[in-house]
A = this chain, B = another copy of it.
Amino acid sequence: MIRVLLAEDQEMVRGALTALLNLESDIEVVAQVGRGDEVAGAALQFRPDVALLDIEMPGRDGLSVAADLDRLLPECQVLMLTTFGRPGYLRKAMANGASGFMLKDAPVTELAGAIRRTAAGERVVDPQLAAQALSEGDSPLSPRELEVLAESEDGSTVAAIARRLFLSEGTVRNHLSAAIQKVNARNRLEALRTARAKGWL
């Protein structure tokens, strides 16, 4: 019997997947959580064989949770399950010790199989997405550039970002300018869009 932990923020999706997985004779969903920061606790308590993690979740994002899980409970395999096939996501997932990466676009029928293969120690990755992740390349942004860009997401002005980060305005402008050019954009908004699309943000 494969013991599964399911982390997914949308109740309805979580419930539906749980019900479906429980129909499989060799799979049992032993824990469900709706927030990223509840995963670690539940995992330690219920000791699942496979953790099925959504990426976009309140509390903590699934990618960083995967890293923790890999440390805290190495015998538990991590299978990421996400809406967005962003190359950066796959990259980060693999770097964080996940063994698999599935899209919600895939047919449900493949899910049980993917779980079985993950539990058996196989790596489950959409080959097309893997190829794209390799060709797209990693984020060209330095940590600071990324941080400044992220801070500008809500429409803050340079001055506001500088205050929040305890930097001079000039420095913020320079970092932003560097970020804009590195992602090959024309302005802040475009830079944000492409960074998001590639999963760098």
- Chain A positions within 8 Å of B, measured between CB atoms, are 9-13, 15-17, 19-20, 81, 83, 103-109, 111, 152, 154-155, 157, 185-193
Contact = CB atoms under 8 A, between A and B. Distances in A.
A109 to B, nearest CB: 7
* Nearest 4 CB-CB pairings of A with B: A155-B190, A15-B108, A155-B189, A16-B16
Contacts of A154: 189-190, 193
B15 A109 contact: yes
A18 B51 CA distance: 24
Q: How many identical subunits does the complex contain? A: 2
Nearest to A190: B155
Contact of A16 (B13, B105, B157, B193): B13
10 contacts: A10-B105, A11-B104, A11-B107, A13-B13, A16-B20, A16-B108, A19-B108, A152-B189, A154-B190, A155-B192
A193 B154 CA distance: 7
Given A20-B20, A188-B189, A12 B108 contact: yes
